[in-house]
Every structure is written in structure tokens, then in C-alpha cells.
Amino acid sequence: FSTAQGLRRALDNGGLFIEVQPRFTADQRQLTGGEALVRWRREDGCLIPPDDFVPLAEETGLIQPLTEFVFDQVMPLLARLRPGQRVSMNFPPAQLARHNLTAMIAARLARQGVPGDRLGIELTESALIGGPGLLDENLRELQRLGCAVAIDDFGTGYSSLSRLRHLPIDELKIDRVFIRDAARDAAGTAFLQAIGAMANALNLRLVAEGVETVEELDQARRIGCHEVQGWLWGRPMAPEEFLSLCLDGG
Ligand code: G
Ligand code: G
Ligand code: MN
Ligand code: NA
């Protein structure tokens, strides 16, 4: 089973790797970039999903080396993207509320010789619980670097609307349960429409997550989602495969 010790060994011995799931414009299906997703291949061969070990990493202090590992994998990809494309990373709130975060990211971008707009930052809505602080400050600085800041899994995390309104963010990624429900019944459709209206009012880009069917794609388009991510158009894949999609122009 998965232990902190096992995860630490994986960090040292190459047991972790990333996949990248592509993102597309909702209307033209043009590739806009992707999302980096970490995976753990345990020594017994089991593939452990991040939902199982990211919380373990957060509890044991391994989240910082894990985040560094993902940076090490993602940064070289950025240099190989087409202009306008970006790869986003997932951050637990605590990792975004660290001192010197922006300086560290700026230095990594400079080392690759790429502009900040190639990197996306995803944070879960639970980050919005609590008052403004270092997190907000960091997000504002990251935006100044050109990084796009997204709220991930939107709709599941009890965020306060007033926080949402004042936070420095660029986009909402609608959790896949709302995309699924919208294609299912009228109440689900109404709910998704409300999310779309709110995002419009707040001037936020909308990304639909977990789009698996044409019906779900239609719903996402109908409420004005700019971008789409999901199995219908692209599963998480090896970074090299993702890069070849990028160069094809998607
Ligand atoms: O495919 P999927 O099972 O990869 O991802 C499940 C969850 O794990 C998502 O909520 C995602 O935010 C989280 N996750 C995936 N990769 C990372 C990562 O590199 N860092 C962190 N902190 N979370 C990740
Ligand atoms: O929480 P976050 O959005 O970062 O996690 C993305 C998760 O959603 C990853 O586990 C990814 O593998 C998964 N995912 C991506 N597209 C789809 C999809 O179309 N259907 C389902 N069921 N999961 C998806
Ligand atoms: Mn995400
Ligand atoms: Na999400």
C-alpha cells in the first residue's frame, strides 16, 4: 500500500511521472495547451492516482518536493510549445501561499527563456476559504508575469462569491459533475447556465472539464465555454505525445 516512505523513495528513484491532458478551443477544436497531471508507478507495478497520494504528500511535507518534481518536468515542455499555447500545473493552496514563490517561478521561466504566459496555475476552490493574504499577493504577481490563474473543480468547493469577485483570477474550470448533469436534465442545464452567467459577469474565461460526450460538448458550447478538456477530445498522455500534438497545431 501507499506510504510516505514509499512516496519518498518514488521521488528519489523516478517512480513519479507526469502526463499532459490537452485543452482545445470549444468552437474550433484548436489546441490551446494542456494540464500536467502527476502519476505514481509503485515498485509493485501499481499505478496510484494522484487523488490517493497528493493528500498523503500534503500531510507529510512531501508536497513541496513533489511540486518541484512537477516543475522540473513541465518547464522544459514550455520551451517547446507554440506561442499562445500553455501548460498548467495544479497547486495545493499552501504551495501557492509560500514566500518567494513568484521569484522561484520567474527564475525557472527565465532559465527556459520562455514568457510567463506559457504557464497556467490551477488552484482548487478550497483555497478561497479564508481571507486575503500571501496567496492573493502571489497570484497577483504571477499574473504580472503573464501566468493565467484558474480556479479548478469550480462548483464543488464552497467558495465565497465575494472572494471570487476580488481574487486575482483569469478563469474558471467547471468541475465535470456540472458538465455531466447539464447534459442529463433541465435542472442541471439551468445550473450550468447560471455558472456561465456568473463567469461572464466577472469577466472570467470558462473551461469545461471532463467533457466525455458530444451532448456535454454541446452544453459547454451553449453556455459560452471558451475551452474544453476531456476524454472526448483528448485523454492525459505522455509529454512527448502531447508535444507532437502541439506541433501539429492540434
Ligand atoms: O487524472 P487525475 O486523476 O490525474 O487527477 C486527480 C486530481 O489530482 C486532480 O484534482 C488534480 O488536481 C490532482 N493532481 C494531479 N496532478 C497534480 C499535481 O501535479 N499536483 C497536485 N498538487 N495535484 C495534482
Ligand atoms: O481536479 P483536476 O481537474 O485537476 O483533475 C483532472 C482529473 O480529471 C484527472 O484525474 C483527469 O484524468 C480526469 N479527467 C480528465 N478528463 C476526464 C473525462 O473526460 N472524464 C473523466 N471521468 N475524468 C477526466
Ligand atoms: Mn486541475
Ligand atoms: Na478540475
Measured in angstroms, how far is the CA atom of residue 51 from the centroid of ligand 1? 6
Measured in angstroms, how far is the CA atom of residue 139 from the centroid of ligand 2? 24
Cβ–ligand 2 contact at 209 (below 6 Å): yes
State which residues form the domain around 55. Answer: 4-173+234-248
Taking the CA atoms of 104, 153, 174 and 128 in sequence, report the sign of the dihedral they define. negative
Query: In whole numbers, what is the pLDDT of the chain averaged over residues?
Result: 94
Per residue in 19-56, pLDDT (tens digit) is 999 999 999 999 999 999 999 999 899 999 999 999 99
CATH label of the domain that carries residue 97: 3.20.20.450
Please report the atom of ligand 2 found closest to the CA of residue 231.
19
Cβ–ligand 1 contact at 54 (below 6 Å): yes
- Residue 201 domain-assigned (yes or no): no
- Residue 205 domain-assigned (yes or no): no
Measured in angstroms, how far is the CA atom of residue 111 from the centroid of ligand 2? 31
- Residue 181 domain-assigned (yes or no): no
- Residue 14 domain-assigned (yes or no): yes
Cβ neighbours of residue 14 closer than 8 Å, sequence gap 6 or more: none
- How many structural domains is the chain composed of? 1
Please report the atom of ligand 2 found closest to the CA of residue 236.
12
- Residue 217 domain-assigned (yes or no): no
Measured in angstroms, how far is the CA atom of residue 235 from the centroid of ligand 2? 8
Rounded-to-integer distance, Cα 141 and Cα 149, Å: 11
Q: Which residue has a Cα nearest atom 13 of ligand 1? A: 50
Q: Would you call 27 helix, strand, or coil by DSSP?
A: coil
Q: Which residue has a Cα nearest atom 20 of ligand 1? A: 90
Per residue in 92-146, pLDDT (tens digit) is 988 999 999 999 999 999 999 999 999 999 998 877 777 778 999 999 999 999 9
Q: What is the DSSP string of 64-118?
A: HHHHHHHHHHHHHHHTTSPTT-EEEEEE-HHHHS-TTHHHHHHHHHHHHT--GGG
Rounded-to-integer distance, Cα 212 and Cα 230, Å: 6
Rounded-to-integer distance, Cα 25 and Cα 97, Å: 31
Rounded-to-integer distance, Cα 164 and Cα 201, Å: 12
Which residues have a beta carbon within 5 Å of ligand 3, which is an ion? 90, 122, 152
- Residue 85 domain-assigned (yes or no): yes
Banded pLDDT at 1 (limits 50, 70, 90) = confident
Identify the nearest ligand to the CA of 88 by its number.
Answer: 3
Q: What pLDDT shows up at residue 110?
A: 98
Given the cut 0.90, state whether the ipTM is greater than it.
yes
Banded pLDDT at 249 (limits 50, 70, 90) = low
- Residue 220 domain-assigned (yes or no): no
Rounded-to-integer distance, Cα 68 and Cα 62, Å: 10
- Residue 206 domain-assigned (yes or no): no
Rounded-to-integer distance, Cα 78 and Cα 148, Å: 14
Helix then strand then coil, in percent of the chain rounded to 5, is: 50, 20, 30
Cβ–ligand 1 contact at 90 (below 6 Å): yes
Per residue in 175-218, pLDDT (tens digit) is 999 999 999 999 999 999 999 999 999 999 999 999 999 999 99
Measured in angstroms, how far is the CA atom of residue 121 from the centroid of ligand 3? 9
